[in-house]
């Protein structure tokens, strides 16, 4: 028998066990990154599924849940991986890969769990036509009001009356805070800002974890950050994880993702305010290391595209940006043939080359052949694909290098010939606002600076992830402890 032992953080435990019997409930938990929120929304499902009334036909407690995430890559790379860590195919139930459904079984419980993205109108329509017991929103601040309200009406529709019907049903979710301009902020923390004709729903309950910096002091009301024992360095009452995480981050990022505070609007502001021309631009031309790999960030586009060429110095921990190519009206095959390959032959003839393109390149067609950008690149170069195209995954690595110093100077050094990139980082790459029905989202504007800046961020993400992988290998060599998963079976235990 498999026993999954889970001890929730204090706030998450309250969140898990809260509900309203025989009534639609909506429970939301906010917290810093790494605080155990996502795991908490899964185990709330375990708890709620166990409270469903048994079927009068066969005694099975049946329920159905849909777990939604804003995009398919986010669902695949974060939500599903977290689920699979706890609930293994063949142990906790059965995974149906084609439909992206997991049938969870333990004791007398059978819960069908549907994993669904919200990328397109068709995706949304499919979700809003479901009949479920529960709806679960991972990173709920990214999901707009209309979808939340419509999805709530799909809860409590399963199981059918012949199986006893739904005896408890509802919606819940976990997230980091978003921007104060979003619909979620007044709904959760500032009801006085709601429209005069709208009241705070009585069936909403809000849980908020302490700051990642909470250290038991009076400043934090005597509270400690949660889930610390599961974060490097794996010690309770030790904030080193969050202290290290904050290094190289902007105050805006720290406020939202560590201190659990809602962010402010960034519209019109540079994406990289920490970029310093005097510090980050070399005073003379940089020389490529002939024994080191040349990595090229690529942002494709028919109206505009860019390559940014760089190398990583492992011994120092520094990124050197050596060159740029910024183009208009060049398909990928033509850009490679007429611009990139001539530059490589002239300036970098002996270097091993790796391309790190926009993750959307696998789906984008360019050139007369009609093949995808990714396939076109692979005809000529080694390519490292990435499925994560979230803004956070690209901005943070660049911020990290801009805010770090090595023993030999700044961790980012740009050749003075990269004038388009430098101009973009100084001020051209700026935030703009995208408005939907109920929220305002700050994203970098698509302008003359965005292609070269995006190519730069793909490159920086690749280097930063390489650093992180190397760091994990070192930690693994030092730490011989291993997580022991219990044997097979179907039981569940929460402490």
One digit per residue, the tens of pLDDT, for the chain of length 495 reads 468 899 999 999 999 999 988 899 999 999 999 999 999 999 999 999 999 999 999 999 999 999 999 988 889 989 999 999 999 999 999 999 999 999 999 999 999 999 999 988 899 999 999 999 999 999 999 898 889 999 999 999 999 998 889 999 999 999 999 888 788 999 999 888 888 888 888 999 999 999 999 999 999 999 999 999 999 999 999 999 999 999 878 888 899 999 999 987 677 788 999 999 999 999 999 999 999 999 999 999 888 999 999 999 998 999 999 999 999 999 999 999 999 999 999 999 999 999 999 998 877 666 545 578 999 999 999 999 888 888 888 999 999 999 999 988 999 999 999 999 999 999 899 988 776 655 567 788 888 899 999 999 999 999 998 887 765 444 444 444 433 333 334 455 544
Give the pLDDT score at 408.
87
Give the pLDDT score at 369.
53
Residues of the chain with CATH 3.40.50.300: 3-211
CATH class for the region spanning 277-478: alpha beta
- The residues, ordered by sequence, that sit 6+ positions from 222 with a Cβ below 8 Å of its Cβ are 216
Architecture of domain 3-211: 3-Layer(aba) Sandwich (3.40)
Give the pLDDT score at 366.
62
Residues of the chain with CATH 3.30.420.280: 277-478
């Amino acid at each position: 028998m498999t026993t999954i032992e889970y001890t929730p953080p204090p706030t998450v435990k309250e969140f898990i066990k809260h509900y309203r019997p025989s009534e639609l409930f909506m429970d939301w938990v906010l917290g810093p990154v790494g605080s155990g929120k996502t795991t908490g929304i899964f185990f709330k499902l375990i708890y709620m599924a166990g409270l469903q009334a048994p079927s009068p036909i066969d005694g099975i407690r049946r329920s159905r849940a849909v777990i939604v995430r804003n995009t398919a890559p986010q669902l695949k790379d974060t939500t599903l991986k977290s689920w699979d860590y706890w609930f293994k195919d063949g142990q906790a139930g059965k995974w149906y890969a084609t439909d992206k459904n997991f049938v969870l079984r333990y004791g007398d419980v059978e819960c069908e769990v549907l994993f669904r993205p919200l990328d397109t109108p068709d995706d949304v329509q499919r979700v809003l036509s479901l009949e479920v017991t529960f709806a679960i929103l991972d990173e709920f601040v990214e999901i707009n009001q209309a979808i939340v309200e419509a999805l709530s009406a799909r809860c409590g529709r399963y199981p059918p009356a012949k199986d006893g019907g739904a005896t408890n049903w509802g919606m819940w979710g976990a997230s980091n805070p978003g921007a104060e301009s979003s619909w979620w902020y007044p709904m959760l923390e500032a009801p006085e800002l709601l429209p005069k004709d709208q009241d705070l729903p009585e069936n909403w309950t809000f849980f908020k974890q302490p700051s990642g910096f909470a250290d038991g002091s009076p400043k934090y009301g005597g509270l400690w950050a949660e889930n610390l024992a599961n974060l490097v360095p794996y010690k309770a009452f030790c904030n080193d994880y969050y202290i290290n995480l904050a290094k190289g981050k902007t105050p805006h990022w720290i406020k939202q993702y560590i201190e659990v505070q809602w962010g402010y609007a960034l519209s019109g502001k540079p994406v990289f305010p920490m970029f310093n021309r005097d510090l980050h631009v070399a005073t003379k031309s940089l020389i490529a290391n002939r024994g080191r790999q040349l990595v090229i960030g690529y942002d494709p586009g028919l109206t505009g595209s860019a390559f940014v060429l760089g190398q990583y110095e492992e011994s120092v921990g520094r990124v050197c940006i050596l060159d740029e190519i910024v183009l208009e009206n060049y398909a990928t095959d033509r850009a490679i043939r007429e611009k990139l390959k001539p530059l490589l032959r002239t300036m970098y003839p002996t270097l091993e080359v790796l391309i790190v393109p926009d993750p959307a390149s696998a789906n984008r067609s360019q050139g007369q052949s009609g093949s995808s950008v990714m396939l076109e690149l692979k005809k000529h170069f080694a390519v490292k694909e990435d499925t994560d195209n979230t803004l956070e995954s690209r901005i943070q690595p660049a911020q990290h290098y801009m805010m770090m110093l090595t023993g030999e100077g700044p961790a980012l050094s740009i050749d003075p010939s990269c004038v388009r990139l430098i101009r973009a980082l100084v001020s051209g790459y700026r935030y703009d606002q995208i408005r939907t029905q109920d929220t305002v989202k700050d994203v970098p504007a698509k302008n003359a600076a965005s292609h070269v800046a995006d190519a730069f961020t793909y490159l920086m993400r690749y280097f930063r992830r390489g650093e992180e992988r190397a760091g994990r290998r070192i930690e693994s060599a030092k730490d011989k402890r291993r997580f022991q998963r219990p044997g097979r079976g179907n039981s569940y235990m929460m402490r």
